[in-house]
Structure 1
């Protein structure tokens, strides 16, 4: 992935570049620009990057002006110390909005979000149609399930997703567990379920488990950058988040 950084503080730009490399050492930082004029000129004379990391307040004004002077053909993640610009940032189709000082876990979550968006909508054109990309995200959000039909003995009942604590696999059987501790078998695989559950509140912890955000009662540091979880209601098995997933898991919790 090729990333353009627009940031007028050199130390902040260097730190951001290091975090991008930490996320994926194949990321190429194309340039670090410090003004609206530089950015407009750069975009006019270079192919669109895969992503632009854009500080909102830079040397010669607010970077929103770039969108008036240029056709921005790439996703944007805004960075700033001023949260009053959040709504305006999303009006120009940003993928995310990160407050300074930027934490690696939050950056990783934003990059994961971009990766998932690109998987949702793959454009056949050389550039990225941001309007259609964001429409695809909105359409996907509207498709998240609000309840499940489950078998309870000889009866069928509904369980709201807000009442789900977690869904896990036990000896090839997928079980939905409610906050009250009730268990119901599900026919769908976890791969299918994770596609219809809102990622704002559900997280795929591993191959056997999908968590609701309120089911996490305690987090303990574990070996080699992993974390160990305790759930409510308790699950009679050890729940470990891998070192690869730990940054995005922490960012998911810390929203």
Structure 2
């Protein structure tokens, strides 16, 4: 949240700092309670990926849509030049967890079912999952580089993550808030040696208008000179041949040429267009 000197007089009069402080406290209780939970299979996962110590670890948080994980696993198998993908499953539906685990087993991708997540707000749920994965997986493995990648973000062809943080501690898509900025939690790469011992918190910071990962403004980003950093480049792409219920073209994001479907697990129009998106991904050639 903002410091008192950052609030306008009107915000102070209507008690915005008190409301923000309450949310910070509530979220901290939720975060710590969730991160204290154990996940069956964690020890087996850590034993499987212990060779990633000093390597490059990419974690995606799965959520309810198995085909996304199938496509992402395939893309990693074909195109990753350094990173190993690990799937941490935050799905609420037991049947979906079974499907996603089967996909990972078939693809040879390390999989872990996260503890049941009590948060229902999408940003807090995602924040819980990321915080748990950071504390119990990333910190235990101690990779040279780690990344959090959205489950509906797909590389265009061969890629490497480690070079993105060779000359800076973090890299990703920058999102600006009130007097602050953060990296979007679906495309964020970190040098573990430079940030691994900090109390990272991937909860949102609504008081600063920052989404999932926004609390890391306090722990990481405000200490960096953003003028000296490179960030991911974003543009929006419209699919003129696939319309939503209002007759408008469905859109996706392109981040450093990675295709981000955006909301593919929660927006009804995009869920309904899954076959179309699979055709798009099948047709997209490496480097395109």
Structure with larger RCO (C-alpha < 8 A, sep 6+): 2
- Structure with greater strand percent: 1
- Structure with greater helix percent: 2
Specify if TM > 0.5. Answer: no
TM-score by length of 2: 0.27
TM-score by length of 1: 0.30
